[in-house]
């Protein structure tokens, strides 16, 4: 079903004062809290995610947007281990990890992944990483080993000149996202996540009806509107309504925030911060709710280079300044692209979602196993000659200062 609103959507919530069977807003996790370093990295990833979301929505006005800050952060977590000097500093600052040692950051990523993927037996959450490098390219063992150890990364070399190389990587992505993200680009560092969970309180499909949905531009679309009445975590004020819809054993949920009619959703999405989000979440309280929510399915794909540059990562994309010498001693490495693809399906049973982040790394240094290709770009004044080789006779000589003159 084609979507008409952005991911922050909710048609109607009717609040009643009934407080019977209150929602447990903070269910006890028998495994205990996550460690402080992992919590710090998760908080930093959230803050980074909101900033990235803001940047995307500054340009993606009137369009659906769906990203995975976790996936992007995880992919760059691997890249941190290949960065050095000011490049490492800029990445840590942009990700919000400045002040922590690289070892602590790695441990935090490992802990958060283990924690989240094993938290709820009723929720499927998979996190997978991989590193693919060109055959013959001398990658430092320490870079590969640390990512295998902390990020459980699959590591393999491929002949990128073969057509089968792309299919090999595509197959890995397809497997790790249960076929929800078809990748068509060879990349170097890859994170893939997959989420599938049933609602704690499922919708009755017989209650789903066609209903109008007011789009961002004011036009009216028809959507499949699910409905249920239950006790949920809810908040409203003069500017918005918010609701928390739990999955499984309630460790995971979908939190929906809907600004009041007349508020620009583009403006809202491009300015909301982690602090504002936390303030809304902290005000959620148990209430009886008559909830109407659209079913939707969305595929989203975007290169994040411009946004990541705006967030302070510009140096890693600069061929002359990037320092990724902890990947290889040959130097000349830089990030060429960061492709992000996501998928989500929300229906009466629950939610299925997937994301993949692909970081492409290229080098200015040529493959030593192949002929070196020199580059000459004739784009400024030059002289030239027409000559005979046996005698060395110069038949013509000239100077070009403007080829259009």
**246 located within any domain:** no
Q: Which of 149-153, 340-344, 384-388 has the lowest mean pLDDT?
A: 384-388
pLDDT at 183: 46
Q: Pairing state of beta strands 123-134 and 154-158?
A: parallel
For the chain, give the percent of residues with pLDDT over 90.
Answer: 28
pLDDT at 405: 38
**Residue 17 or residue 131, greater confidence:** 131
**36 located within any domain:** yes
**156 located within any domain:** yes
> Smallest Cα–Cα separation from 242: which of 270, 279, 207, 199?
279
For the chain, give the percent of residues with pLDDT over 70.
Answer: 80
Average pLDDT over residues 128-155: 92
| Tokens found for residue 319 | 């061929």
Task: For residues 137 and 18, give the distance between their C-alpha atoms in angstroms, rounded to a whole number.
Answer: 65
CATH number of the domain enclosing 108:
3.30.497.10
Q: pLDDT confidence of 400, banded at 50, 70, 90? A: very low
**57 located within any domain:** yes
**138 located within any domain:** yes
pLDDT at 311: 95
Residue ranges of the alpha helices (H) in 236-386?
265-271, 274-282, 305-308
Is pLDDT of 295 > 80? yes
pLDDT digits (tens, 9 = 90+) for 38-90: 889 888 888 888 899 899 888 888 888 888 888 999 999 999 999 999 999 99
- For the CA atoms of 133, 139, 142, 146, the dihedral, rounded to the nearest 10 degrees, stands at -10
Find out whether 13 and 290 touch, Cβ atoms under 8 Å: yes
Give 181's contacts (C-beta < 8 A, 6+ positions apart): 173, 174, 192, 341, 342, 343, 354, 355, 356
For 138-147, the CB contacts below 8 A with 24+ separation are: 138/328, 138/329, 138/330, 139/327, 139/328, 140/326, 140/327, 140/328, 140/329, 142/326, 143/81, 143/82, 143/326, 143/327, 143/328, 146/81, 146/106, 147/78, 147/81
Range of the domain at 180: 12-199+296-363
The listed range with the strongest mean pLDDT (220-224, 293-297, 310-314, 333-337) is 310-314
pLDDT at 9: 35
Number of structural domains found in the chain: 1
pLDDT at 82: 94
Average pLDDT over residues 311-338: 90
pLDDT at 61: 83
**369 located within any domain:** no
**358 located within any domain:** yes
Average pLDDT over residues 250-265: 84
**226 located within any domain:** no
């Amino acid at each position: 079903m084609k979507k008409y609103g952005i991911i922050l959507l909710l048609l109607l919530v009717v609040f009643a004062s009934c407080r019977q069977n209150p929602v447990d807003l903070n269910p006890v996790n028998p495994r205990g809290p996550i460690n402080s370093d992992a919590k710090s990295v998760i908080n930093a990833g959230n803050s980074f995610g909101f900033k990235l979301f803001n940047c995307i929505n500054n340009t993606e006005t009137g369009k659906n947007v769906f990203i995975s800050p976790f996936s992007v952060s995880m992919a760059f977590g691997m890249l941190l281990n290949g960065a050095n000097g000011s490049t490492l500093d800029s990445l840590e600052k942009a990700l919000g990890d400045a002040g922590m040692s690289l070892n602590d950051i790695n441990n935090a990523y490992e802990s958060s992944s283990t924690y989240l993927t094993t938290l709820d037996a009723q929720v499927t959450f998979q996190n997978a990483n991989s590193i693919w490098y060109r055959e013959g390219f001398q990658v430092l063992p320490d870079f590969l080993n640390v990512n295998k150890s902390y990020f459980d990364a699959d590591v393999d070399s491929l002949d990128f000149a073969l057509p089968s190389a792309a299919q090999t990587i595509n197959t890995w992505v397809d497997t790790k996202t249960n076929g929800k993200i078809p990748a068509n680009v060879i990349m170097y560092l890859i994170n893939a996540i997959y989420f599938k969970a049933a609602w704690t309180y499922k919708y009755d499909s017989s209650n789903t009806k066609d209903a109008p949905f007011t789009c961002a531009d004011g036009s009216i679309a028809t959507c499949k509107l699910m409905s249920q009445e239950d006790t949920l975590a809810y908040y409203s004020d003069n500017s918005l309504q918010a609701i928390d819809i739990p999955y499984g054993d309630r460790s995971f949920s979908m939190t929906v925030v809907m600004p009041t009619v007349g508020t620009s959703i583009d403006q809202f999405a491009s300015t909301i911060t982690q602090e504002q989000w936390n303030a809304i979440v902290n005000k959620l309280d148990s209430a009886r709710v008559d909830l109407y929510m659209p079913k939707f399915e969305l595929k989203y794909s975007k290169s994040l280079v411009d946004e990541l540059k705006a967030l302070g990562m510009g140096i890693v994309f600069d061929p002359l300044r990037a320092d990724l010498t902890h990947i290889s001693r040959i130097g000349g490495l830089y990030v060429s692209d960061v492709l992000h693809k996501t998928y989500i399906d929300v229906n009466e049973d629950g939610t299925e979602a997937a994301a993949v982040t692909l970081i492409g790394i290229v080098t200015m240094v040529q493959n030593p196993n192949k002929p070196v290709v020199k580059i000459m770009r004739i784009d400024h004044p030059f002289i030239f000659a027409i000559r005979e080789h046996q005698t060395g006779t110069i038949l013509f000589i000239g100077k070009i200062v403007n080829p259009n003159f």
